[in-house]
Amino acid sequence: EQEKRKLQLFHYNNGQKVKKISSPLESALSEWVSVSNRYFLLAFFPSGQISFSVDPKRVKPEIVFSPGNKPLNLRLLATEKSYSGLSARKNGLEKTLSLGLFSFISVFFIHILNFFYGIFGNYGWSICLLTLIIQIFMFPLTKKNIKSAEAMKRIQPYVKKLQAQYKDDPKRMNEELLNLYRVQKANPLGGCLPVLIQIPIFWSLFTMLQGLVELRGAPFIFWLTDLSRPDVLFGHLPAFLPFIGGWTIGPLPLLMGATMFFQQKISITDPSQKMLLLMPVFFTFIFLKFPSGLVLYWLTSNIITLAQHILLKKLK
């Protein structure tokens, strides 16, 4: 079921970029045209230039070749969508992988993950180690973010006092708040820059782990026998539940949600932000349908961030 993703079509001609086919197309073809799902790809290579047409909006899109009065001569490639395997062919087929906006970062992580797999022989532990290294690399940003949150939490009583005192004079209130931030060395936007810098890294890992064919059938430990599939240890949610009825459920996304809750709880600086504690509940339900490898990354990241937060508090 997890492999039933909408088919994607791409085509490539000499001297041009690999292009995704998202609307009905009639064109000349000199290199290849492909159709693929999450993990597998089928590519057609003509012996010479040929015309073809396709409508990707159809439920079962068909690639129609028009050789005219020439004999149709095609070479066919059916393969899994492994970055190393496709890029080794030197014909642009690796561009058919869905690696997101920051694909160059995703490719870098694929190489590191495969390197770790060569050492440990287990993609689960490789994901954990990759996450640990990324978190260590980003620790200065995490530290700055935590310190900024702690500073804002410390001055909240003074902020509320000033807001109440100058509620009828917004200009004076802003001046007093800016003065308070300056004296207490607190920056209400201090946590934004570290988060913005981390977004490309997190998004690259997110998109990479969703479609990494190496995780297909790859076991981790105990009940996790396929990191490309959701954790299903606890079976299915009752069918009568709206929206989520019938979804599979397992301990991995539940642990992810729990660690996210504690992470949010110790990070909240303003009592008015208590609603943010509902986010882990929302994310837990979303992650029920995600591949176990992706949930494992998120869980490991949460645990490491929590450990960093606790360590910084003890070192204060």
Mean pLDDT (10-residue bins), the chain, 316 residues: 65 81 82 88 86 81 78 87 90 87 91 94 95 89 76 79 82 84 72 72 87 91 91 84 81 92 74 70 88 92 88 76
Whole-angstrom distance, CA of residue 26 vs CA of residue 29: 10
Q: Which residue has the tokens 């396929």?
A: 226
* Integer Cα distance of 35 and 21 in angstroms: 10
Cross-strand pairs, 35: 9, 42
Question: In 3-state terms, what secondary structure has residue 74?
Answer: strand
CA-to-CA distance for 124 and 209, rounded, in angstroms? 11
Domain locations in the chain?
A: 8-89, 105-153+191-315
Give the per-residue pLDDT at 1: 46
What pLDDT is recorded for position 254? 94
| Gap between the Cα atoms of 113 and 128, Å rounded | 10
Distance CA 181, CA 163 (A): 14
Instruction: Decide: 66 and 53 in contact? Cβ < 8 Å.
Output: yes
Contact (CB, 8 A) for 29 and 11? yes
Give strand pairing partners of 46.
74
Single pTM value for the model: 0.80
pLDDT at 33: 87
CB atoms within 10 A of CB 245: 11
pLDDT at 169: 80
Question: What confidence score (pLDDT) does residue 2 get?
Answer: 47
Q: State residue 226's pLDDT score.
A: 92
